[in-house]
Amino acid sequence: MSAADKPSFGRSLRMVAWGFLGVRKRSGYQQDLARVNPLHLVLAALIGAVLFVLLLFGFANWAASGG
């Protein structure tokens, strides 16, 4: 197994980021899915969701304060 084939947390973060954006080629998605560690994927998704919620709260506070 080469270094490019090993599961990495960075690959999981990129995969989750593409998922949030909703734009991804099917072939790239399938390649990443074959090389990702499920635990890394769950952790990356949780981190992404928390960051998204914090971003929304920050934007709401900014807008409520008069921007």
Domain boundaries defined on the chain: 9-64
In angstroms, what CA-CA distances link 66 with 12, 13, 60, 63? 37, 34, 10, 5
Q: How confident is the model at residue 59 (pLDDT cuts 50, 70, 90)?
A: very high
Q: How far apart are CA 27 and CA 52, in angstroms?
A: 26
CB atoms within 10 A of CB 41: 20
**pLDDT tops 90 at residue 15:** no
R_g (Cα) of the chain, nearest Å: 15
Please write the tens of the pLDDT for every residue from 25-42.
Answer: 788 778 877 888 889 989
14 three-class SS:
helix
